[in-house]
Amino acid sequence: MAGARALWRHCPLLLPQDRHGTAYEGFVTAQGRDFHIRILLPVDFQLKDARIECSWHLKKILHGYRHILKQRLHSCPDLVSFMVELKTVLEIALKNTQDLHIPRPPEYYSCLVRDLEILGWNKVAYVDTGLTTVKLKAEDSCGRQHLITLKFNAKYPTEPPDCLVDFPVPFAISWMPQNSLIDIYNQFLAALESLKEFWDALDEIDGKTWVLEPENPTRSATTRRIAIGNNVSVNIEVDPRHPKMLPECYFLGADHAVNPLRTKLNNNMHLWDPEISLFQNLRELLEIDFPSRAVLEKSDFAKDCGICYAYRLDGSVPDQVCDDPRCGQPFHQACLYEWLQGLPTSRQSFNVIFGECPYCNK
């Protein structure tokens, strides 16, 4: 209910189309203009699997920002957060679209070229033909490569460019008219170092475990679903500002397999040691060895859905498992939900449906 109120406060013209809250349609407002949009959520409300449909006009405006919106869709915890991000990106896109039609004075080009020369062309990854968009590259102290996209308006350097980065936290620059690209670049480098421990922790997870989701994590992604065993995994949500703290953990799998893990986590929580790595802490608290990338293949513990016979469906993997230890067949939540809805013996309570396993009938 609180989420619905928050959504109404930010987007009063976006309304639910069904009682489950999986379809929304209406308008998103930016710079006094309304744009038609439709959002379809899966039954598990995971934003990463959502589908967004919009008018051709809005699609054209957001064309250059698709990768940013995709990142935000994967990293935002709920629909309200994503809509706030969408409105912010739309405001930037509209502003830049308008700026394209404003003739720029010669001083704009001479100032920008001078700033790029002072910064060093070796730090430039891309410049568009109109000198309105520049991508700068940087390497953090661990050798990771990063990009920052700068979109300039006609009033540069009086006004700063819009800065787009692949970060798990907002990136805002401090700017005065006498500043230059070097100041932005130095602030970008400082932000990279502030996120070093976060990326170190997740890089170790990515390198030493089998990550089931996301398949190709971006630098802004704060979650990892890590394989523990056959059809058993843990989803962790790491706080980018406090990466050495105990992350939120959610276990997926049959009850007989995940209940002992929950018990171990609760019993050993006091043993969490911020002086050792996130990976090592998880191993010690759960008292397990994660499947090794050096020994096992992903197919050794990633079984296909028992309904659609595919592993990946619209970006999601099977995360619902039959609780019977003799069965343990995994299913996509969407497949299982649709299957159970079609059975006359199933019963539903609010948005939870109960029924028999398609494999073992338990």
Same domain (yes/no): 308, 219: no
Q: Look at residue 137 in the predicted model and tell me its pLDDT.
A: 97
Range ranked top by mean pLDDT from 145-149, 230-234, 332-336, 339-343: 145-149
Domain of 331, CATH number, reads 3.30.40.10
User: How many Cβ atoms are within 10 Å of 317's Cβ, its own excluded?
Assistant: 20
Asked if 111 and 178 sit in the same domain, the reply is: yes
Question: In the listed set 70, 99, 128, which residue is the last one of a domain according to the structure?
Answer: 99
Q: In the structure encoding, which two tokens stand for residue 324, read together?
A: 């019977």
The predicted pLDDT at position 187 comes to: 97
- Closest C-alpha to 331, from 346, 340, 321: 321
**Overall number of domains in the chain:** 4
Task: Determine the pLDDT at residue 98.
Answer: 65
- What does the pLDDT read at residue 2? 47
Indicate if 58 and 13 belong to the same structural domain: yes
Give the structural domain span for 8: 1-99
Q: Per-residue pLDDT tens for 161-200?
A: 999 999 999 999 999 989 999 999 999 999 999 999 999 9
Q: Give the chain's mean pLDDT.
A: 86
pTM here is 0.66
Please answer whether residues 228 and 234 qualify as being in contact, where contact means their C-beta atoms are separated by less than 8 angstroms.
Answer: yes
pLDDT of residue 1: 46
Residue 356 lies in a domain: yes
Last residue of a domain, one of 65, 99, 133: 99
Given a cut of 50, whether residue 70 has pLDDT beyond it is yes
Asked if residue 201 is part of any domain, the answer here is: no
Query: What's the confidence (pLDDT) of residue 301?
Result: 64
Burial of 210: CB neighbours in 10 Å, binned 0-12, 13-18, 19+: buried
Q: Determine the average pLDDT of the residues in 28-43.
A: 86
Q: What pLDDT, on the 0 to 100 scale, is given for residue 295?
A: 64
- Residue at 321 is within a domain: yes
- 309 compared with 210, residue with greater pLDDT: 210
Among 156-170, 262-276, 287-301, the minimum mean pLDDT is found in 287-301
Has residue 199 been placed in a domain? no
Please give the pLDDT value at position 271.
93
